[in-house]
Structure 1
Amino acid sequence: MKLPRLVSLLGYAGLIPFFAGPLWLSLSPATVPHWLDHAWLVWVGMIAAFMAGTFWGFALPAAEGPAGTMGLLFSMALMLAAWTAMTLARPAALTGLILVFLLLLLADFWRERTLGAVEGYFGLRTALTVGACLAIAWRLAL
C-alpha cells in the first residue's frame, strides 16, 4: 500500500498550529491573547495522544499474536506518557512532550520492521516528528 497524498497534506497541515504559537509569541508578544499558550499546549498534547492512537490502529490487525499484543501495549504506554506530560508544569510538560514524540517515532520504527510497512509512512512520520520537536523546542526557548 502506498501512502495517499492526502495523508501527507493533512500531516503537514497539522504542523501549522505547532509553529503558529511560537511564531506569534516571537513576532508580537504584546498582542498574544491570554488563552493562546494553553490552546497551543492542548493541541500538542492532543496530537501526541492521536499519534499513539494511530499506533493502536496499526497493531490491531495483529492483536492475536505476540507482536500485535506488544504493539497494543506500546500504544497504551504512549497514550499514558502523553497524558502524563500534559499534567506537568510548563517546562517539564514541553520536555515531556518532546520525549513522547521521539518515543512515538521509535515505536513506529519497531512497527515498520515487526508489523509491516506502509510505503512512505515512516519518512512522513520522521519529518513530522522533527517539525513537532523543533516547534516545541522553540516554545521552550521563549
Structure 2
Amino acid sequence: MLAPSRIPPRLVALLGYGGLLPFLALAALAWLDPPRQARWSGALLEYGAVILAFVGALHWALAMQATTLAQARRAQAYAWSVVPALIAWGALQLAPGPAALLLVVGFTLHLWADRTLAARMPLPAWYLPLRLRLTAVACACLLAEAWRSAGIA
C-alpha cells in the first residue's frame, strides 16, 4: 500500500502558491514605492483580511461534509469558521502596524485550528504541510508590513 502523498494536487499547489503572489508583491511595493506606500499597505492588509476570511470558511465546508465528526465537534467547526472573518474585519479597523499583527495572530490561530481539526477527521496528507507553508509566507509579508509601518527599517 502506498503512503498518502504529502504533495498537493497540481491545481491546488498552483492556486495556493499563486495566492501568495499578491502578499509578496504588495509587501515589496509597500517598501519600495514610498510615494504610493499607503496604497500598497492598504491593499496588502485588505488582501490579508480576505484570505483570512476565506481560510476560516474552510471549517464551515468541512463541518458540512465530515461524517466522522461528533455533533459537538461539528458545532465547534461551524462556530470557529466565522472567527477568522471577525478577526480580519477587526484588523481593518486598525492602523497598518497593529492591523498586520492582528492578521498574523488570525492566521496563526487558524493554523492551530486546522491542526486540531486534522486530529479529529481525515484530511489529505498534503493539507497541513501546504497550509503551514502558505501561512508562513503570508505572515512573513504581514510582519514585514508591521515592521515597515513601525518605522523600524
TM-score normalised to structure 2 length: 0.82
Paired position in structure 2 for 1:6: 11
Could you tell me whether the CA contact under 8 Å between 1:48 and 1:100 is conserved in 2?
Answer: yes
Three-state SS of the structure 2 residue aligned to 1:117 is coil
CA offset digits 1:84-105 (Å, max 9, x no partner): 2222222211110000000110
RMSD of the alignment, in Å? Answer: 2.0
Q: Which structure 2 residue ranges, 5 or more long, are not aligned?
A: 149-153
Amino acid across the alignment from 1:109: R
From 39, 50, 55, the counterpart of 1:51: 55
1:73 corresponds in structure 2 to: 79
Aligned pairs for 1:19-30 (under 5 A) are 19-30=24-35
Q: Using the alignment, how far apart are the partners of 1:93 and 1:67 within structure 2?
A: 30
In the other structure, the counterpart of 1:60 is 64
Does residue 89 of the first structure (1) align with residue 132 of the second (2)?
no
Which range is displaced more, 19-28 or 126-135? Answer: 19-28
Q: What's 2:41 paired with?
A: 37
Instruction: Please tell me whether the aligned partners of residues 30 and 37 of structure 2 are also in contact (alpha carbons under 8 angstroms).
Output: no
Q: What is residue 124 of structure 2 aligned with on the other side?
A: 118
Q: Which residue of 1 aligns with 2:139?
A: 133
* Aligned length in residues: 141
Q: Greater CA radius of gyration, 1 or 2?
A: 2
